[in-house]
């Protein structure tokens, strides 16, 4: 199974997800999206694969969000542009296969994902 993990090395949940994948003998492609920010097009593709609205990919408890955007009405393209500009706002970890994707929190979601793929 070809998997990709959008990973933040400083995030405990992201590290746990990567460790789980590796413990299952999987070798996912690791994309450290803070070091190599995603383009708006890549974010749009992730959102489509996740089958969510752009706002659901936003970490709304991050300081950047709370201080600058909380309570504002933003369009989907504006949210996607913000995620590209501030990759720290992207929920993590995101795990994708060729046809599916999920935000791997809690870890049980990732376990179910692996069992169904």
Query: What DSSP string describes 24-43?
Result: TT---EEEETTTSPPPHHHH
Sheet holding 29-32, edge to edge: 29-32, 4-7, 94-96, 101-103
Answer whether residue 76 shows pLDDT above 90.
yes
Mean pLDDT in residue range 98-108:
92
What are the tens digits of pLDDT across the range 9-20? 999 999 999 999
Answer whether residue 39 shows pLDDT above 90.
yes
Domain ranges across the chain: 1-33+92-117, 38-89
Active site residue 46: no
Helix axes of 40-50 and 76-85: crossing angle, nearest 10 degrees: 120
Say which of 11, 26, 34, 74 is annotated catalytic.
Answer: 11
Question: pLDDT confidence of 1, banded at 50, 70, 90?
Answer: confident
User: How far is Cα of residue 82 from the mean position of the Cα atoms in its chain?
Assistant: 14
Q: What is the pTM of this model?
A: 0.92
Place of tokens 């542009």: 81
Q: Which of 58, 56, 43, 54 is nearest to 89 (CA)?
A: 58
Q: Domain 1-33+92-117: give its CATH code.
A: 3.40.30.10
């Amino acid at each position: 199974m070809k998997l990709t993990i959008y990973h933040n090395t400083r995030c405990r949940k992201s590290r746990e997800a990567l460790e789980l994948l590796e413990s299952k003998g999987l070798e996912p492609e690791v994309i450290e999206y803070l070091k190599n920010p995603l383009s708006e097009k890549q974010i749009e593709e992730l959102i489509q694969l996740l089958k969510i609205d752009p706002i659901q990919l936003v970490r709304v408890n991050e300081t950047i969000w709370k201080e600058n955007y909380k309570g504002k009405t933003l369009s989907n393209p504006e949210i996607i542009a913000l995620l590209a500009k501030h990759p720290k706002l992207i929920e993590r970890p995101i795990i994708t296969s060729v046809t599916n994707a999920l935000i791997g929190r809690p870890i049980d979601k990732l376990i179910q994902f692996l069992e169904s793929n």
